[in-house]
Chain A
Amino acid sequence: MNRRNFIQQTTIATGGMLISGVAGAAIPEQYPLTILHTNDVHSRLEPFPMDGGRNQGLGGVAARASLIQSIRAQTEQVLLLDAGDIFQGTPYFNLYKGEPEIKAMSRMGYDAVTMGNHDFDAGLENFANQLVHARFPVIIANYDFTGTPMETKYQPYTIIQKGKKKIGILGVGIELEGLVPENLYGKTAYKDPIRVANETAAILKKNNCDLIICLSHLGDKYDDNKVSDEVLAKETEFVDLIIGGHTHRFFEQPRKYKNKIGGDVMVNQVGWGGIQLGRLDYIFSGNNRKKSMEANTVVTVKKTSE
């Protein structure tokens, strides 16, 4: 705990120093926002069993909930997000079809989630039914659920006010054909995630969002030209941050890309199974809401061993 406080203070102090170092500008008011995120938790409600496996004892909703609470106790503006594949992977899902997963996420105070391919596993009707336990929206812009049980249970984007800042969140899902059995996705229509993400992000931009986040279950990147977070990042215009999933990758640090108009996009993913909780702390300056297309990003990495 002390170390975290120390590092946070260091980070803020460094930021402040640099602000005052730029062209003698006055230090503007600062607005912090903390984004916490998970992906591919796969019904891991209890920690991994103590069976000698490499993940034994890790994860579990009770530990994650208290970690989230302790962060909320320290910082005011927190967003808690998930990038899909909430379901499938432990016997809880075989027996209860996702009910405890959704209840637990509601209690933890998730603000928004997107859908992964395994969230179809007990059928779309089941997913829709389990959402009666959800106190968060399901955000997905490139699936059209018209004529399915999900028809009224999702939205392409949401805008969340956090203090003085407006956060726009959209979601994109992976191609279903060849991955999800047809009898599970039924009439769901998959649309090009890049086109839809750009259209949706443009709406969020028009609504004066200070930060635009895309929840994605596309996967971080592939050897072939299959659409991924990397492709999406490079092809978008207004997305600032992609919270990814599907490929179960533990990123060393968020990846940074240049978007279509030369701006910066960050992509992150925290493995799977609730082993990690990701945390991004943004500090907005008072008078400038968005980076411009000429934005220049300098990344400094600081590693601390436990």
Chain B
Amino acid sequence: MYRLSFFSFIVFLFLGCAPAKLPLTVSYQAYRVNAQVATDTGLQHMLSPYAATVNSTMNKVIGFANTTLTKKMPENTLGNFMTDCFQKMGAEKFGKKVHIAFMNQGGIRADINKGNITIGNIYELMPFDNILVLQDLKGDILEQLIQHNAAEGGWPISSGSSYTIKDKKAIDILVDGKPLDKAAIYTVASSDYIANGGSNAIMLKAIPQQNIGYLLRDALLEYIQQITSSGKPIEAKQEKRVIKADE
């Protein structure tokens, strides 16, 4: 009825201390909560004033995706789209060149599905009130960040930068089209979450942040609206920004 996956199993726990070993049985099943389940009107009634406000704000269409953008490791279309957005909007809002933008995999919270994109979709993609920040990193610190990303299986990075993961280490690192220079200074866009050491990016913790209170979510909303008003759909490609050595 309301379950796609149903299974049941029985566990017999034989009681060693009992004179006769008596079983304790456990059976398991998982219900799939889907449209065939009747809805509880009391709950719906409780929710409706909240829902009215949420839906009137969130259902506005701001763009169109001609393909579904999803997240996977090591590289993904959704992460490419987001980091390109942070690089471009960071440069625009701060009025300076951004060499590379980062996003942590764990911070990507929903797909962008093919079709209309609503404000609500972007809230689900980026529910956190994280702020877009810039940091000027010396090449050796930037490399530590990239090595940390590689050890975690690869984080999304913006267009023009790339590396290969071999034995959990990043090799052949390009930043903004050129080999990483440990002595150079790079302007890096990420979030206050990452820059404060979130997702264990501890190497960033001590580095000053440039912060104008601009939310990552607002960057995404604005970026999508810009693309839409230029008459284009939302799209992103896999372009070998992060690859594994054996690929």
Contact = CB atoms under 8 A, between A and B. Distances in A.
Contact of B127 (A12, A18, A93, A268): A93
A147 B101 CA distance: 38
B50 A276 contact: no
A295 B13 contact: yes
B66 to A, nearest CB: 12
A293 B10 contact: no
A298 interface: yes
Contacts of A287: 18, 22
Contacts of A303: 6-7
Contacts of B111: 53-54
A83 to B, nearest CB: 15
Interface in A138-170: none
Contacts, number: 249
B interface, how many residues as a size bin? 35 or more
Contacts of A256: 11
Given A11-B10, A66-B37, A303-B7, A178 B202 contact: yes
Contact of A178 (B27, B39, B57, B198): B198
Interface string A105-136: 00110000000000001000000000000000
Contact of A296 (B14, B31, B119, B129): B14
B27 A280 contact: yes
Contacts of A225: none
B94 interface: no
Interface residues of A, number: 96
A299 B54 CA distance: 46
Contacts of A281: 26-28
Contacts of A298: 11-12
Given A18-B23, A67-B37, A181-B196, A302 B128 contact: no
Nearest to A178: B200
A243 interface: no
B54 A95 contact: yes
Given A51-B121, A65-B40, A278-B28, A91 B58 contact: yes
A165 to B, nearest CB: 11
A49 to B, nearest CB: 7
A89 B25 contact: no
B199 interface: yes
Interface in B45-80: 46-47, 50-51, 53-54, 57-58, 68
A305 B41 CA distance: 30
A297 B24 CA distance: 9
B172 to A, nearest CB: 24
A285 B27 contact: no
A120 to B, nearest CB: 11
A163 B123 CA distance: 44
A58 B2 CA distance: 11
24 contacts: A4-B1, A11-B8, A22-B20, A23-B20, A66-B38, A69-B40, A89-B110, A91-B57, A91-B123, A94-B123, A100-B47, A181-B192, A252-B7, A254-B28, A256-B11, A288-B22, A288-B24, A294-B17, A296-B13, A296-B14, A296-B16, A297-B14, A298-B12, A302-B9
Interface of B: 1-18, 20-35, 37-44, 46-47, 50-51, 53-54, 57-58, 68, 109-111, 113-116, 119-121, 123-124, 127-129, 192-193, 196-200, 202
Given A91-B123, A288-B22, A301-B9, 10 more contacts: A4-B6, A23-B21, A61-B43, A63-B39, A64-B33, A95-B54, A108-B43, A178-B202, A179-B199, A299-B10
Interface of A: 1, 3-4, 7-8, 11-12, 14-15, 18-19, 22-25, 28, 43, 45-47, 49, 51-54, 57-67, 69, 88-96, 99-100, 103-104, 107-108, 121, 178-179, 181-182, 250, 252-254, 256, 264, 266, 268, 270, 274-285, 287-288, 291-306
